[in-house]
Amino acid sequence: MNDRTMPSLFSLEGKNAAIVGGGSGIGEAVALGCAEQGAYVRCLDLNLDGADATAATIRDMGGQADAAHVDVVDGPAVSEAFQSIADDRGSLDVVVCTPAINVRKPLLDYTDDEIDRVLGVNLKGNAHVLQSAGRIMRDQGSGSIILFSSIRSLVVEPGQSMYAATKAGIVQMVRAAAAELGPSGVRVNAVAPGVIDTPLTAPIKDIPDWYQAYGDRNIFKRWAAAREMAGPTCFLASDAASYVTGTVLFADGGWTAIDGRFTPPGM
């Protein structure tokens, strides 16, 4: 049992965090949240300009951060990015992976290229993150890895087949990695958001009825801001979650509790 006081349990002071997808959306919000809790943050993103901007914001508010380019589909590049943090900082304590892509269309209309793209980023990319971070953390005997699943791991709708499959797959990878890495002191968990205002969901705003329907189908009757995912993620990263592993934290405004559903236009 951890004997630290309750406020300090939530602190990330002295921890070194890698936020994959830190250049925008949920990843940006999580990077800022980890920095506010005292962590050194390296923002990793396919969009280096976005990652640089997030790191600059953290430094402007008095935190420690820098940025680097990474493509989660490139396994060796992911390993190199994480090892660089461990070498530079002496440890890799927290890794969060947020990137995902979605091709919204009926299953029967998917092309092989579209299937490869969604599975490649959402499953293969997260597998690379788990492998690379897991090896470093296993050897150092500690660490917290947090992947991003979704409400779509449980509930689906027309047009979400490949995306939903990958988000369910992430849950099972998290559980397996938690079982395998737990004896080495490494925790692995997932956050499952509901409807969040991010670049990934921006096209939905162009269809007001669709956007409103999603907001209406959760308990709070609204979309979440990306910032609202920082708290659940920072909790899982912190010592306050020292006995939490292999689990999925649903941050969905109660969507899955009431089984919210809407059929998008054209589906």
Catalytic positions, written as ranges: 163
Contact 122, 149 (CB under 8 A): no
How far apart are the C-alpha atoms of 248 and 149, rounded to whole Å? 8
Sequence-distant (6+) residues with CB within 8 A of 2 are 9, 239, 242
Q: Is there a contact between 102 and 25 (Cβ–Cβ < 8 Å)? A: no
Phi, psi of 17 (to 5 degrees): -120, 135
Instruction: Please give the DSSP secondary-structure letter assigned to residue 158.
Output: T
Cα end-to-end distance, the chain, whole Å: 51
Burial of 6 (0-12, 13-18, 19+ CB in 10 A): exposed
Burial class (CB in 10 A: 0-12, 13-18, 19+), 230: buried
